[in-house]
Structure 1
């Protein structure tokens, strides 16, 4: 009798799981049937259990709009500030940093690369800890206030050693931001909604690159000698102060996780949690007491899909090394210092437009591989052009297509990671941090590929970056075929129950290709 009851309950649950995605997407307007109510009640969503599909759809739209309006614009602004603080050193080089601190040989390259030591080491523990406490607004804004102060203090450095210390500490506290924001976004949005929102957030890095040139040109030209300070010092002080100023405002605007956000009603919180459960048939973050840490990390290490994604992210991230040296590369085009800084703006603006367009398409068609590899091929072409000639027009064209190609593909690789390593939440948090952390290992050595002596062609650096892009394309192809095989196995397993009556995979789940 007990076995029969269990089988009946499993049949009800399976039937309900098949219906739930269409209800949440608003495909049907019929009231929920008994099986749906059983599942909702069992998942502890009492306020949703008696709602019709129309009411659920209206509530879901309201929650999504409410979160979009507060989360996305705020993260965009914060990411602009984050990237400004990280890459101020690139503009500071043109503002007299090397001369004033007496940097010789490879000391400037070391100052660039030491940032990544702290940045790499602390991302994984930071993201797992963020998942444990469940309050990203508090945690991320605390880290942001500290790194803003450190960035401002970099402008007061009087020696090479002091400047190195500031760069190392900056990497430690900035380590929390990017993977923490990516994970926070993944706790609010379904997989088919995530791409365009991550793209909107990631546009902050491109807008930062665009604004950096404009801000730097203004500061370098107009603040040289103000209060006895060199312009590179003002760059650090002003941009660091902007970050600290933004923290208290962002803290009260940002949400935490769906279960811990106070400015949502109880009904809205239930919907925010339930709709992600519907999307993947996996439980999302509920209480900090339920979160696993070490076990999630072990699961991550044992997942072969994660390692392919990490490798893709690493190769794509390695080619991003040109970002830090982009003003130096453009300086070889023979324009003045101010003109060079202004020339850095258009590629980043083009990247914003390209990124949002391609990521919107990737979400619309629920596809990742082709949307990621097409920009990679574009960037590969740009590196070849940039390294093959010293003519102004051709080189600037190469630079124009490199930046959009790399940034779009890098963002899509992170989105693919979030879509693939989906559950449990702690594992997804670790995966996003690991991917970005190990992907930035290249920052430890790529800085040394751009010595001043290699100008104007920077042949070795551009060749290595092009090679990394080619490897990334090959790895993406391997992953696509592997995930397609996994999807075929899931389809087969959905039709076969195990001995105790449980499905081998959650019904309806498929990897996004």
Structure 2
């Protein structure tokens, strides 16, 4: 093979005829990149969600109404949606390291500054800024991973990175709860103020660590040998040159495929948000009155969903198939949601249904991003990934919609059935409408699926 010959005769080869083993090379890359990116994403989730626990003290201390709190929560998503695309375009210009440094230092400082909030307007402004500064982190990391991994290896690594979202629950509950309780009134600060300060500082430190430790691209990775760097670069170059001519960068904004993928991501994210906001209440409604026990029960689906996400992504990579893997995972989550509506009075039934739903959506989300990054050309990826992520972030409004339906009907059932319909619609869109050659987003000359490796 051409690749073997090139690697074996290079002047910096490790030895005569030495050809790196691809699995070993990508395993080394994953070990170097993913743990730090995982920690960054974990603390991002902690910073965006700790306001939920802080509310237990903050709302009473500041005299905020539920309406004021709801507006503040929504302002985060507004800032996030508005700045996803500009941030990813800036990443293309200045690089991933500087982008992660900017994002994490600014969002960490903003999160910490929340301890000074006195009025609703200040609260709204800081939540908006938190969303604006965090904007671009998730799509930026997805874009960064495309600089390292070819299409056929992305589902597994994206799943590993995204497990941080589930792991954040293990931090937010016990750690944040401990800070609220043990540091209340220490040095004149309330527990919620300490919470904002102490959970904002790690973001700043991790941003500096990402800038210092993450290489910009394979050519900059001193811990890869020359043959290993060449193997990675050749794999990415082969996929890039096999694609059709790249469309202009902003032409992707006129392509329906981006919005179809965005709708599919939105439908999955709505199910994720439903579980995050309402599963504790659903479990408590089965008769569990001890809030600590409720928290422990919530951790069970999250833990199993995290495991399923990694295993399912690995299975998809092994079989080089995305579409049917996504359809099956989304179908399981839709069935799980239906079971929650039917079995809401039974703790065992709710837990089994929640496990199915969580495993389904957790497994589907990385697959959707693996499909999206294959469908987007290198030139279109910065804008396309950011647009899809922005549309997914609009799912933040679903929590308010579910709450309104529950208030009006006295039950979550109607909202659950609406979410099932939305999830089925997103699955049908991905199954029948998302088609086209990888890297040729604007010219539909083939009906070959994006995830077809042939």
TM-score (norm 1): 0.77
Does residue 442 (structure 1) correspond to residue 381 (structure 2)? The answer is no
8 Å contact 1:446–1:461 — kept in the other structure?
Answer: no
Instruction: Indicate the RMSD between aligned Cα atoms, in angstroms.
Output: 3.4
In the alignment, what sits opposite 1:35?
A: none
8 Å contact 2:12–2:227 — kept in the other structure?
Answer: no
Superposed CA offset, 1:212-249 (max 9, x none): 22223333443344344443333322211222232322
Higher Cα radius of gyration = 1
Q: Which is further off, 460-469 or 122-131?
A: 460-469
Query: 1:370: how far off?
Result: 1.8
The one of 199, 202, 215 equivalent to 1:242 is: 202
Query: 1:189: how far off?
Result: 0.5
In the alignment, what sits opposite 2:238?
A: 278
8 Å contact 1:390–1:457 — kept in the other structure?
Answer: no
In the alignment, what sits opposite 2:424?
A: 470
SS at match of 1:447: helix
8 Å contact 2:43–2:168 — kept in the other structure?
Answer: yes
The one of 252, 255, 260 equivalent to 1:308 is: 260
Cα separation, partners in 2 of 1:455 and 1:177, compared to 1, 3 Å: farther
Cα separation, partners in 2 of 1:474 and 1:49, compared to 1, 3 Å: farther
Does residue 349 (structure 1) correspond to residue 311 (structure 2)? The answer is no
Q: Aligned equivalents of 2:42 and 2:208: distance in 1?
A: 16
8 Å contact 1:109–1:448 — kept in the other structure?
Answer: no
Q: Aligned equivalents of 1:61 and 1:399: distance in 2?
A: 35
Does residue 164 (structure 1) correspond to residue 124 (structure 2)? The answer is yes
In the alignment, what sits opposite 1:214?
A: 174
In the alignment, what sits opposite 2:57?
A: 96
Q: Aligned equivalents of 1:142 and 1:201: distance in 2?
A: 20
Query: 1:122: how far off?
Result: 0.8
Query: Any stretches of 5+ residues in structure 1 without a counterpart?
Result: 1-18, 24-28, 33-44, 284-291, 494-503
Superposed CA offset, 1:242-295 (max 9, x none): 222323223222121234556656665544322211234359xxxxxxxx9x93
Q: Aligned equivalents of 2:227 and 2:348: distance in 1?
A: 57
Q: Aligned equivalents of 2:349 and 2:416: distance in 1?
A: 15
Query: 1:343: how far off?
Result: 3.0
Does residue 67 (structure 1) correspond to residue 29 (structure 2)? The answer is yes
Does residue 390 (structure 1) correspond to residue 342 (structure 2)? The answer is no
In the alignment, what sits opposite 2:382?
A: 429
Cα separation, partners in 2 of 1:221 and 1:52, compared to 1, 3 Å: closer
The one of 362, 377, 396 equivalent to 1:407 is: 362
Superposed CA offset, 1:77-134 (max 9, x none): 11111111111123333x333333323243322222111111011111111221122x
Q: Aligned equivalents of 1:259 and 1:382: distance in 2?
A: 45
8 Å contact 1:314–1:440 — kept in the other structure?
Answer: yes
The one of 246, 252, 256 equivalent to 2:216 is: 256
SS at match of 1:57: coil
In the alignment, what sits opposite 1:337?
A: 291
In the alignment, what sits opposite 1:79?
A: 41
SS at match of 1:344: helix
Q: Aligned equivalents of 1:295 and 1:162: distance in 2?
A: 41
Aligned residue pairs total 441
Cα separation, partners in 2 of 1:279 and 1:433, compared to 1, 3 Å: same
8 Å contact 2:100–2:210 — kept in the other structure?
Answer: no
Cα separation, partners in 2 of 1:434 and 1:49, compared to 1, 3 Å: farther
The one of 98, 102, 107 equivalent to 1:138 is: 98
Q: Aligned equivalents of 1:66 and 1:392: distance in 2?
A: 43
8 Å contact 1:193–1:363 — kept in the other structure?
Answer: yes
Q: Aligned equivalents of 2:433 and 2:213: distance in 1?
A: 38
The one of 269, 281, 286 equivalent to 1:317 is: 269
8 Å contact 2:109–2:201 — kept in the other structure?
Answer: yes
Q: Aligned equivalents of 1:160 and 1:371: distance in 2?
A: 45
8 Å contact 1:110–1:447 — kept in the other structure?
Answer: no
In the alignment, what sits opposite 1:125?
A: 86
In the alignment, what sits opposite 1:154?
A: 114
Cα separation, partners in 2 of 1:54 and 1:430, compared to 1, 3 Å: farther
Query: 1:203: how far off?
Result: 0.6
SS at match of 2:236: helix
Q: Aligned equivalents of 1:351 and 1:54: distance in 2?
A: 46
8 Å contact 2:83–2:136 — kept in the other structure?
Answer: yes
Cα separation, partners in 2 of 1:336 and 1:144, compared to 1, 3 Å: same
SS at match of 1:335: coil
Q: Aligned equivalents of 1:248 and 1:194: distance in 2?
A: 26
Query: Any stretches of 5+ residues in structure 2 without a counterpart?
Result: none
8 Å contact 1:48–1:271 — kept in the other structure?
Answer: no
Q: Aligned equivalents of 1:304 and 1:51: distance in 2?
A: 46
